[in-house]
């Protein structure tokens, strides 16, 4: 598997259509990295809850990470009530962004 930097370099080189190779490369490279960083952000359950009936990555109070399907009954009074081994979920993120 390629590293993020390798994939960003390949993306920037493949999409150089501007004729200003160095300037465009830098813009495309930075845009690719920004997209990766956005996709890897964890969302606090205090800010937003995952959609019901979705499969997401979850992080607990002790840093434990795993995939979970969030069912509608896991959301109680606006709070995520799911726990894993007694540890409450603190953050989540989409597994696959569309």
Residue range 35-55, pLDDT digits in tens: 887 777 888 888 888 887 888
Q: Where are the beta strands (DSSP E) in 12-96?
A: 43-44, 54-60, 65-70, 75-76, 79-80, 83-84, 87-94
Whether 28 contacts 12, CB under 8 Å: yes
- For residue 73, what are the contacts with CB-CB under 8 A and spacing of at least 6? none
Q: What predicted TM-score, i.e. pTM, was given to this entire model?
A: 0.57
The mean predicted confidence, pLDDT, of the chain is 75
């Amino acid at each position: 598997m390629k590293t993020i930097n390798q994939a960003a370099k390949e993306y920037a080189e493949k999409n150089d259509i501007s004729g200003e190779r160095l300037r465009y490369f830098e813009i495309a490279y930075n845009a690719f990295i920004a997209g990766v960083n956005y996709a890897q952000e964890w969302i606090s359950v205090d800010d937003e809850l995952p959609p019901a009936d979705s499969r997401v990555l979850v992080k607990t109070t002790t840093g434990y990470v795993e995939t979970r399907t969030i069912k509608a009954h896991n959301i109680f009074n606006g709070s995520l009530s799911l726990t894993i081994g007694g540890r409450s979920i603190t953050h989540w993120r989409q597994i696959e962004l569309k």
